[in-house]
């Protein structure tokens, strides 16, 4: 964990207090059950949907840091999510990308300037500094930065990159201190890429989960990947935790409302390497869901697979700037009739955890009227089993409102 100055600690404490106050203020109505009894929830097992802190409290602090995970737990998150990549010496660390330029201050470090290079990551040409060229000790000298330029940058460089083991230790300590079980949701990130470097993620992940005593379906662990072969490898090598197949797309065509598919977000990279020409969209068909059920327990789709969005067209066929901000983007789209994906997945015996929910108005469809809780409530009412959020406090407040309206 980073050593913080008094000034930084004061700022971080202020963020935590403000978030806690927000969580308390958004509690919703009476918690007493309705006189006719609570309504049945539409989740696969009838339980309340789980809230996964996406990369920690990443809406407030630089993602994938011990401080972001701690804040997320303090805000009430049920689960924390680390994306896992490997260092040169084979240590699993929490970063979304192998390219450290995206989420650390490595570019400002002259001693590492010579390690800048251009390489391929899942078929995409990238230039930067890559974790596989750094030891853990070297990476620990770097500071994490926000990956969203429109979020606060005041904490950039204040917090260090965290290892998977440090997250395991934090979750265990926080579970004991708070008297509630906090789960962990690691993702094997770019597993084909890492395997080609001689740094397979799966073996190390299994060893650490086994050592933690977390190798069963009832363990507080979900393991996810976009690549089916990674999940299959984990299962074949003895991992017994719940496994989740992630399902991506490139974008949404706001003129038609259709999902678009462009590399590297068109298909799992292991499918591409194997010559499998199917797109991610094949996974949400009945046949695709049945195939996933043979090696996984749930799916993690991008949320437009569940609630599509579409722009409103003017007389010329152009998408209207509904909010009048001079830009045409997601905030000008309106939600469409939900698909049957949740029901179809449940029929196949798979739970559904959708991603990623955020508070910023630029990320909310126009008809949510700038209220992120409106989006959460729509998905909860559809029977979603869980979701990934950058703002766990808002997700939990909306869940409390949802449970109240169902008589809980």
> Which residues are CB-contacts of 119 (< 8 A; sequence separation ≥ 6)?
125, 126, 130
Unique residue bearing structure tokens 């991992």: 239
Q: Say which of 96, 194, 346, 353 is annotated catalytic.
A: 96
Q: What is the distance between the alpha carbons of residues 335 and 356, in angstroms, rounded to a whole number?
A: 16
Answer yes or no: 353 catalytic: no
The dihedral formed by the CA atoms of 82, 167, 98 and 252, expressed in degrees to the nearest 10: 10
Distance CA 201, CA 191 (A): 6
Query: Could you tell me how far CA 284 lies from the centroid of its own chain?
Result: 19
- Is 346 an active-site residue? no
The residues pairing with 121 across neighbouring beta strands, listed in sequence order, are 124
Query: How many whole angstroms separate alpha carbon 245 and alpha carbon 223?
Result: 9
- HEC assignment per residue over the chain: CCCCCHHHHHHHHHHHHHHHHHHHHCCCCCCCCCCCCCCCCCCCCCCCCEEEEECCCCCCCCCCCHHHHHHHHHCCCCEEECEEEECCCCCEEECCCCEHHHCECHHHCHHHHHHCEEEEECCEEEEECEHHHCCHHHHCCCEECCCCCCCCCCCCCCCECCEHHHHHHHHHHHHHHHCCCCEECCEECCHHHHHHCCCCHHHHHHHHHHHCCCCCCCCCEEEEECCHHHHHHHHHCCCCCEEEEEECCCEEECCCCEEECCCCCCCCHHHHHHCCCCCHHHHHCHHHHHHHHCCCCEEEEEHHHCCCEEECECCCCCECCCCCCCCCCHHHEEECCCCCHHHHHHHCCCEEEEEEECCCHHHCCHHHCCCHHHHHHHHHHCCCCEEEECCHHHHHHHHHHHHHHCCC
Give the total residue count for the chain: 408
What is the CB neighbour count within 10 angstroms for residue 177? 10
> Would you please indicate which residues are annotated as catalytic (active-site) residues?
54, 96
């Amino acid at each position: 964990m980073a050593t913080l100055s008094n000034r930084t600690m004061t700022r971080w404490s202020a963020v935590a207090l403000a978030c806690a106050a927000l969580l308390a203020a958004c509690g919703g109505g009476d918690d007493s059950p309705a006189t006719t009894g609570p309504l049945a929830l539409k989740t696969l097992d009838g339980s309340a949907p789980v809230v996964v802190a996406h990369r920690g409290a990443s809406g407030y602090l630089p993602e994938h840091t011990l401080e972001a995970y701690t804040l997320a737990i303090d805000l009430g998150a049920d689960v924390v999510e680390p994306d896992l990549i490997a260092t040169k010496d084979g240590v699993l660390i929490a970063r979304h990308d192998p390219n450290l330029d995206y989420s650390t201050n490595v570019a400002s470090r002259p001693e590492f300037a010579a390690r800048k290079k251009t390489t391929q990551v899942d078929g995409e040409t990238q230039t930067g500094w890559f974790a596989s060229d750094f030891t853990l000790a070297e990476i620990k000298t770097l500071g994490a930065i926000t990956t969203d330029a429109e979020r606060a940058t005041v904490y950039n460089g204040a917090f260090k990159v965290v290892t998977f083991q440090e997250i395991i230790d934090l979750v265990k300590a926080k579970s004991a201190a708070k008297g509630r079980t906090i789960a962990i949701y690691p993702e094997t990130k770019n597993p084909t890429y890492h395997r080609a470097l001689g740094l397979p993620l799966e073996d190390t992940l299994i060893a650490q989960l086994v050592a933690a005593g977390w190798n069963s379906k009832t363990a507080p662990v979900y393991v996810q990947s976009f690549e089916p072969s990674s999940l299959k490898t984990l299962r074949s090598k003895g991992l017994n935790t719940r496994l989740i197949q992630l399902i991506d797309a490139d974008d949404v065509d706001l003129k038609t409302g259709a999902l678009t598919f462009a590399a590297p977000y068109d298909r799992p990279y292991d499918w591409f390497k194997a010559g499998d020409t199917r797109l991610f969209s094949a996974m949400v068909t009945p046949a695709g869901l049945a195939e996933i059920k043979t090696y996984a327990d749930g799916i993690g789709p991008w949320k437009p697979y569940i609630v599509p969005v579409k722009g409103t067209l003017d007389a010329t066929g152009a998408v209207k700037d509904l909010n009048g901000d001079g830009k045409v983007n997601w905030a000008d789209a309106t939600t469409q009739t939900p698909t049957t994906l949740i029901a179809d997945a449940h029929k196949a015996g798979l739970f559904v955890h959708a991603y990623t929910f955020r508070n910023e108005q630029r990320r909310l469809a126009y008809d949510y009227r700038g209220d992120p809780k409106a989006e959460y409530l729509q998905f909860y009412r559809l029977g979603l089993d869980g979701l990934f959020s950058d703002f766990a406090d808002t997700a939990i407040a909306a869940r409390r409102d949802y449970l109240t309206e169902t008589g809980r």
